Structure 1
Amino acid sequence: MSLHFVDQEKNKSCFDVYTKRATLLPISKYKLEDEPQESKVIRNLLIDELLLDGNAKQNLATFCQTDLSDESIQILMNACVQKNLIDKDEYPQMAEIEKRCVNIIGNLWNSPDSSTVGCSTTGSSEAAMLGGLALKKKWIENRKKQGKPIDKPNLVTGPVQVCWHKFALYFDIELREVPMEENRLCMTPKEMLELVDENTIGVVPTLGLTFTLQYENVKAIAEALDKYEKETGIYIPIHVDAASGGFVAPFLQPDIVWDFRLSRVKSINASGHKFGLTPLGCGWVVWNTKQDLHPDLVFNVNYLGGNMPTFSLNFSKPGGQVVCQYYNFLRHGRSGFTIIHQTCVDHGIFIGEEVKKIGIFDLIYDGRGGLPGVVWVLKKDAKVGFNLFDLSERMRSRGWQVAAYALPKNAQNIVVQRVVIRHGFSRDMAQMFIEDINRSIDYFAKHPMVSGLTQSEGQTFHH
């Protein structure tokens, strides 16, 4: 072996990467080695490791965009890899592109005011927290003017994604979450009104629930708060969590009133890297007017080369995703986004219809009226030798990642399976998916699970 290494050192160019030292011995995985390695060798080793990850095309659990095969996206990302979006003095054109995106999104969400403000974020979770912080700051300001205590702020939501639980914990706010019930899976005005009071900084309806893909009725919630204000004198604003629906509803359900057409809606967050079609790491938060963004959230700094305002939680942020968002806006336009998302909806409806034909499933969401996808449960009287966790695990043997999970508080006895359809999916893939569902069911008929996986052992949902 030692002679082999000596020969290699004398004739380096004669050997490919898989005969180099780093490929003949285990690499140091958890601490730095003393000597450097050849870049191509390490690159190939990492590519080999990444082969063990799932196939993004078959990941029907995530909401995030996985089809980024557009060559222009790759070129634009490479052109921006060294640029810090926060440094607006050094990269003014990238800052201008971000500003254009904010205006396009404000227009998309029917902002009636030319002073719409907002910013890009690393995802909708950061955007949601900025929206929530603005609500808290406004509430504190108003309470101080009234001479009232500010020690017990609360936020009222429906069944929400974990980012709102983080927001409440990080910023000392009581989260009052309307729980799901077996016959009611969304927040409605009735349940919302039971939780609000003078300490409520805002109400957060969700346009595209993580659990069921459905839209909560923002208009009905706003109207209920209008009536509540008339009766009590207490004003409560709305922030809409449109992480997924913000780039779907304007194109597929333009008649649903959920956005800045409602004066009570002060801010909205969305993920560009979901149905906005951009690479991972892009979110947006937009306030209807400058007055809705509290000035305490805006910092002016000058040590990057010039005086500039900033109100994001991060202070170093790549700009490629923002440029790609702008590219998608220019390239697709309204009709392009409509065609893309309608195609995804049609695939979801097809899968739902085929799943229902199998005869052992009931649809909770059939793919119509919300996000592209479908959600189902096993029939209560289904006599099968598996549960949905077993089915999800079996589908992985064919490469499919399908979310199976118990619904949240007060509906935990309901276990669902969910498929999210994103751009890059085809009808052929949908048919192959159904064939693999049937193949898996046939397998369980021959090899029934004695006990199956428990809920705690099963696969959880992906955001």
Structure 2
Amino acid sequence: MSDAASNALLNVGAEVSQHEQRIKGLESENAMLRGMLANMSNASRHHYASADAMTNEVETLVMPEHGTAATHCLRLIKDRQVLDSRAVLNTSSYVNVFFEKEEMEAAAMGLRINLADQTVYPESFKMHNNTLNMVATLWNCPKPLDFYETGSFPGAGTVGSTEACLLSGLCLKFRWREWYARRHPDQPILGVRPNLVISTCFQAAWEKLFRYMDIEPKFVTPSCKSFTISAEDVKAQIDECTIGVVCILGNHYAGQYDPVWEVDEMLTQLNSYNGWQVGIHVDAASGGFVAPFQPEMADKKWDFRAPNVLSISASGHKFGESVCGTGWVVWRQRDGLSEHVAVSVSYLGGKGDSYTLNFSRPAAGIYVQYYKFHRLGKEGYSALTANRSANAAFLRHALRKMEFRGMPRFIICDHGDDGCLPVVAAYLNPAAEMGFDDIDFQHAIMGHHWYVSGYKMAYNHPLTEQELPLTTDTAQSQTMFRVVVKSNVTRNMMQNLVQSMEEALMTLDSVANAVRHGGHQLQRAMTLKRQDQGLTGTVC
């Protein structure tokens, strides 16, 4: 074959290849257009008559190729969320779940605002500072010397109280490090491990501090009769490497307040005798927006009125009534405390200080907290506090009246009707030998749509993961439950909860009675089902 013929064949082959590629391209474009057309047709349909209603997202691993109608997207979310427990009947969590239409609108506005960008959104940041100042004065923080220069107390809005606790712990650590270096100038400070004294009733935030920030926890184990630490027990744990003491204003197990005022007096004497500077952080995650509105707490110096209190943190999204993800931290002063975590930022077109661990964050929580302070005022917060306490007392009284074979059904282990969080905590009377525990009780109540938190009276050591007893006088296998009485729980709802508990107990009694009469296989089946579902009780 001549060269000309060969070249002609090659040219023909190239043209065929190009045509094939064009055909494949057109087929691909055609498939895409068909998909878009089908999707447009699908999106225009009633959601439950569309292909979207048949999507099994549990098995979906990749992003959809094509978008769909906004109404379909929202319906997809709603149809999944409806399978959750009812938020308004969740007495396990402290997080606020009720919002007026206006504050929902305020929250939606805040989603568009990056509060870190102070120069672009100066009025939003002023709202942050105004709200921070309200919190600081509520906790009797002394006005800083540079207030008229900065316009705010030392502190910040945070992502929940976890971030607030981590920031406070870091400040205590850096403050101690400077003090220890001056005291031991010839000793390498980085080779000395600091410690922090805290109750075994600590929240998960502190576990993160111990793990992430290389701080040793020194635990004080309370009695189940009080769930609070004592000044003497705290004193026994303090040494030269102690960066501070955490007092919990409303532990999440049963709602009691650690005696900050007694620990403060002890520290004044201990510091004077040893030449130390050990201070207090008040973890008021739950109590920070309750105690200021309880008349019985007016004379208790749990806040900055106690000289050794250096910082206080709280969750705005709990009894502060804001949206989830709202927290606050306030320091007594900037010098030697909050200055350790302040970072100057200038690359956004101006200069401002950032006090938070993360940077970009929406203003939604700040807006809603600002809204709630103005909407309720001190009078409104006082009324909410009184209503919650009254409803908690109603439930507590109902539990005390319940009996099993002439014996009390429950052992109440919360503080009582005042001077604590609106929490009802109890456990089934072991002496009654009812044949089930508090976690079984939790699951039975779920059949009535209420979610009540049941859990073991144990904790895992943050560094060793060893499971240890929560209190000095109960086994770690002992179970208990708690009911958090939030603002949305009315007296009618509380009456329904009492009725639901009574009916749940009747069901459990019937099952336990069947087991006693030879139904051991049934008991084993129930136990295995709980293990398969991972239902072991949680605390949050």
Answer yes or no: same fold by TM over 0.5: yes
Change (3 A) 1:158 1:10: closer
Confirm whether residue 391 of structure 1 aligns to residue 441 of structure 2: yes
* TM-score using structure 1 length: 0.94
Structure 2 contact 261–306 (Cα < 8 Å) conserved = yes
Pairing 1:29–2:79 present: no
Q: Judging changes above 3 Å, is the alpha-carbon distance between structure 1 residues 271 and 23 closer, same or farther for their aligned structure 2 residues? A: same
Give the aligned partner of residue 78 of structure 2: 47
Please name the residue that 1:369 is paired with: 419
Equivalence for 1:122: 159
Please point out which of 178, 183, 195 is paired with 1:154. 195
Partner Cα separation in structure 1 for residue 444 and residue 239 of structure 2: 48
TM-superposed deviation, 1:23: 2.2
Q: What residue in structure 2 maps to residue 108 of structure 1? A: 138
Alpha-carbon distance in 1 for matches of 2:426, 2:55: 48
CA spacing shift, 1:133–1:9, aligned 2, 3 Å: closer
Aligned to 1:461: 538
How big is the shift at 1:254?
2.4
Q: CA deviation at 1:20?
A: 2.1
Mapped partners of 1:185, 1:321: distance in 2: 31
Secondary structure, counterpart of 1:239 in structure 2:
strand
Cα distance in 1 for residues equivalent to 2:527 and 2:381: 40
Q: Say which is worse superposed, 253-262 or 423-432, in terms of deviation.
A: 253-262
Q: Conserved in 2, the CA contact under 8 Å of 1:372 and 1:420?
A: yes
**Which of 72, 90, 98 is the aligned partner of 2:128?**
98
- For the 8 Å contact 2:161–2:315, the answer to whether it is kept is yes
Q: For the Cα contact (< 8 Å) 2:39–2:68, is it kept in 1?
A: no
Cα distance in 2 between the residues matched to 1:25 and 1:319: 35
Q: Compare the two structures and name the one with the higher helix fraction.
A: 2
| Between 269-278 and 251-260, the greater mean CA deviation after superposition | 251-260
Q: Which residue of 1 aligns with 2:170?
A: 133
Partner of 2:499: 435
Q: Secondary structure at the match of 1:381?
A: helix
Q: Distance in 1 between matches of 2:270 and 2:401?
A: 45
SS of residue in 2 equivalent to 1:86: coil
Whether contact under 8 Å (1:299, 1:309) holds in the other structure is yes
- In structure 2, what residue type is equivalent to 1:199? C
1:8 offset after TM fit, Å?
7.0
Given the two structures, how large is their TM-score scaled by the length of structure 2?
0.81
Q: Distance in 1 between matches of 2:129 and 2:154?
A: 8
Equivalent position of 2:7 in the other structure? none
- The letter of the residue matching 2:75 is N
**Aligned mates of 2:318, 2:291 — CA distance in 1:** 13
Name the CA distance, whole Å, in 1 between partners of 2:44 and 2:276: 79
Indicate the SS of the match to 1:87.
Answer: coil
- Contact 1:84–1:316 (Cα < 8 Å) also in 2: yes
Say whether the 8 Å CA contact 2:155–2:338 is kept in structure 1: no
AA partner of residue 390 (structure 2): D
- Given that 2:248 and 2:282 are in contact with CA atoms closer than 8 Å, whether structure 1 keeps it comes out as yes
Residues 367-403 of structure 1: CA deviation (Å, up to 9, x unaligned): 4320012101111211323211111001111111111
Confirm or deny: 8 A CA contact 1:76 1:323 kept in the other structure: yes
Distance change in 2, residues 1:453/1:346 (3 Å): farther
Aligned-residue offset at 1:444: 1.6
Letter matched to residue 446 of structure 2: R
User: Against the structure 1 CA distance between its residues 348 and 213, is the aligned structure 2 distance closer, same or farther, given a 3 Å change threshold?
Assistant: same
Give the structure 2 partner of residue 426 of structure 1.
490
Q: 1:378 to 1:92 in 2, by over 3 A?
A: same
Alignment of 1:198-347 (within 5 A): 198-252=240-294, 253-347=297-391
| Matched length | 458
Query: Which segment is superposed worse, 9-18 or 386-395?
Result: 9-18
The one-letter code of the counterpart of 1:139 is: W
Q: Distance in 2 between matches of 1:6 and 1:118?
A: 52
Residues 1:158 and 1:149: Cα distance change in structure 2 (over 3 Å)? farther
Q: Please, what is the CA RMSD of the aligned residues?
A: 2.2
| Residues 1:413 and 1:180: Cα distance change in structure 2 (over 3 Å) | farther
State which drifts further: 77-86 or 433-442. 77-86
The 1-side partners of 2:339 and 2:286 are apart by: 28
2:45 aligned with 1:15? yes
The aligned counterpart of 1:185 is: 227
Of 169-178 and 143-152, the range deviating more from structure 2: 143-152
Take 2:62 and 2:128, find their aligned partners in 1: how far apart are those partners?
A: 39
Query: Which amino acid letter does the alignment assign opposite residue 345 of structure 1?
Result: S
**For 2:316 and 2:290, how far apart are their aligned partners in 1?**
11
What do residues 21-72 of structure 1 show as CA deviations (whole Å, max 9, x unaligned)?
A: 222443462211322233322221221011100101110000110112x111
Deviates most, 417-426 or 439-448: 439-448
CA apart distance, 1:296 = 3.3
- The one-letter amino acid paired with 2:79 is D
Give the secondary structure class of the aligned counterpart of 1:175.
strand
Once residues 59 and 92 of structure 1 are traced to their aligned partners in structure 2, the CA distance between those partners, rounded to angstroms, is: 38
Amino acid at match of 2:434: V
SS at match of 2:312: strand
Aligned-partner SS, 1:309: strand
Instruction: Provide the secondary structure at the position in 1 that maps to 2:320.
Output: coil
Contact 1:392/1:459 (CA < 8 Å) preserved in 2? no
Which one scores higher on RCO, CA 8 angstroms, separation ≥ 6? 1
| Separation in 2, partners of 1:77, 1:25 | 31
**1:163 counterpart residue number:** 205
Q: Structure 1 residues 393 and 9 mapped into 2: Cα distance closer, same or farther (>3 Å)?
A: closer
Q: Distance in 1 between matches of 2:310 and 2:55?
A: 59
Q: 1:230 to 1:19 in 2, by over 3 A?
A: same
Match of 1:404 in 2: 454
* Distance in structure 1 (CA, Å) of the matches to 2:360 and 2:44: 43
Which 10-residue stretch deviates more, 412-421 or 335-344? 412-421
Write the distance in 1 (CA, Å) between the matches of 2:336 and 2:188. 22
**SS in structure 2 at match of 1:285:** strand
